[in-house]
Amino acid sequence: MKIKSLYFILFFVLLNAVTINAQTIDDAKLWYQEGKYSKALPILMDEYNLNPENKLINQLLGVSLFEMGKFVESEKYLTYAANNEITDVLIYLGELFALQYKFDEAEECFSKYEKSKRKDKIALEVLEDKRMFADHLKRLTRRTENVQIIDSLVIPKSNLLDAYFLSSTSGNLMPVNEFFKNQTSNSSILYVNEKQNKVLFSQHDSINGSDLYSMEKLLDSFGNQKRLPETINNIADQTFPFVMPDGLTIYYASNGNNSIGGYDLFVTRYNIATDSYLNPNQLNMPFNSPFNDYLLVIDEIKGVGWFASDRYQPEGSVCVYTFIPSEKVVLLESDDEKYLSRRAKIASIRESWLPQTDYSSLIALAKKIDQPNNQNTTEFVFVINDSKTYNRLTDFQSAEARELFIQSITSENELKSTLKQLSVQREQYLNINSRNELLRKSILQLENTADSLYKNVKRLKTAARNAENRYLM
């Protein structure tokens, strides 16, 4: 009797476990239908581990991960379901390929989905939106900038500022809640200018969302809080501001202004003549993507810049890219759409490097921690007149002269990079085995570029000197 009772108890427990498991899967399916993907995910994963060849579970798991923004993880399950004739996942798989800039693969999925849903008007309307988005991304890749990205670092988003090593002349970045002790819940980034008498920051309210504000130092404390104008603060969220040393140019992130997806990077400039800001310009790829891109900072003294992106990163992580700023926008010239897509996606930072160019010293400089402001620190030597020589940007009294001198530094950094590349190619050309027409043309082009940059540096420095002397007079 005891043995029979034991069998009965075991049978009851197993039966009950099967019933509970069946109910749990049903609950997961219900949560899936209600859009509660994170709630359904653990149960779906458990079921997948028991039966990885179940095409329905692969579908539910792939779509849940995709809807949660876990795009990389979702591909495996979506692909398996699609290969096993679950046509509903094709629209997700097509969108996933579009986010990866695999536009041919995306269109192949969209075409198959369209064929399977040819009588479903609502499904076809949704498909049209996805196709338009993919086409928009494809057009944007054709306007990818030829920017040299020299380094990258993946870190927790909570440690974002650990990847930015600004010179003192570029100002300072800090969490808002460190500057304003009463805003403990505001963890966004605040910018402080070099003189530490003006700040720019993002502040959230229930009506306008997150907008950019400025404050100035009045005696020993900050006050005179001003909301930046509507040209910058629209109905979306604006955050992560940075002001160039000219005091006029602002980079920031916004999820409005027809952003590609999430936060995009924008730049605007204060117009002294009209006392207003110009309409913001959306930066090109690779600075922007269908994911969150933000906190672009340029250090003109070091000749480098940084920006952050969570593209293809695990949840809670962000990649901070180090790049070489350019005085003007130069787009990539190529008919190879896959090459443009790789550069837009930043599939490999080395693919953006100039041939035979060593960036190690610049990478090291970008990571160098600047010392606190010191009035005796010499950053450069610039003769203004017989009685004045400037060593820091703060020595300039004329805003116009300071901006011209900053432009000359940018051109000078470009000139150094060009001359270094020219030296390498000339040495390469001296090798008789390397002599060819393409290399000769490249050397001639670099020589012309170097000559133009040299003249521009000289012109800008002369203009800066004259502007400062006019102001002093």
The pLDDT tens digits for 447-462 are 888 888 888 888 988 9
Q: Which of 342, 366, 390 is the last residue of a domain?
A: 366
**pLDDT over threshold 70, residue 435:** no
Are both 407 and 318 inside the same structural domain? no
Query: Which of 207-221, 296-310, 325-339 bottoms out in mean pLDDT, i.e. has the lowest?
Result: 207-221
For residue 88, give its domain range: 2-141
Are both 184 and 292 inside the same structural domain? yes
The answer as to whether 106 is a domain residue is yes
Digit-coded pLDDT (tens) for 59-71: 999 999 999 999 9
The answer as to whether 37 is a domain residue is yes
Q: Which of 318, 336, 366 is the last residue of a domain?
A: 366
pTM of the model: 0.76
Number of domains in the chain: 3
Query: What pLDDT is attached to residue 19?
Result: 43
Closest by alpha carbon to 174, among 113, 75, 241?
241
Which of 75-79, 352-356, 390-394 is predicted most confidently? 75-79
Are both 50 and 31 inside the same structural domain? yes
The answer as to whether 56 is a domain residue is yes
Query: What pLDDT is attached to residue 20?
Result: 41
Q: Are 467 and 401 in contact (CB under 8 A)?
A: yes
Are both 341 and 453 inside the same structural domain? no
How many CB atoms within 10 Å of residue 151?
19
Are both 153 and 172 inside the same structural domain? yes
Closest by alpha carbon to 199, among 191, 189, 207?
191
The answer as to whether 371 is a domain residue is no
The answer as to whether 132 is a domain residue is yes
The answer as to whether 448 is a domain residue is yes
Query: Which of 273-287, 395-409, 415-429 bottoms out in mean pLDDT, i.e. has the lowest?
Result: 415-429
The answer as to whether 372 is a domain residue is no
Digit-coded pLDDT (tens) for 265-302: 999 998 877 878 899 999 999 999 999 999 999 998 89
**pLDDT over threshold 70, residue 433:** no
The CATH number of whichever domain residue 89 belongs to comes to 1.25.40.10
State the average pLDDT over residues 254-260: 89
Are both 49 and 120 inside the same structural domain? yes
Query: Which of 13-22, 119-128, 265-274 bottoms out in mean pLDDT, i.e. has the lowest?
Result: 13-22
Are both 136 and 194 inside the same structural domain? no
Query: What pLDDT is attached to residue 425?
Result: 76
Query: What pLDDT is attached to residue 13?
Result: 42
Are both 452 and 320 inside the same structural domain? no
Digit-coded pLDDT (tens) for 342-379: 999 999 999 999 888 889 889 999 998 875 545 556 67
How many CB atoms within 10 Å of residue 172?
19
Which of 143-152, 324-333, 390-399 is predicted most confidently? 143-152
The answer as to whether 221 is a domain residue is yes
Are both 168 and 266 inside the same structural domain? yes
Are both 182 and 95 inside the same structural domain? no
Query: What pLDDT is attached to residue 185?
Result: 66
State the average pLDDT over residues 322-338: 92
Are both 360 and 238 inside the same structural domain? yes
Are both 232 and 84 inside the same structural domain? no
Query: What pLDDT is attached to residue 261?
Result: 85
Q: Which of 141, 167, 202 is the last residue of a domain?
A: 141
Query: What pLDDT is attached to residue 18?
Result: 43
State the average pLDDT over residues 49-74: 94
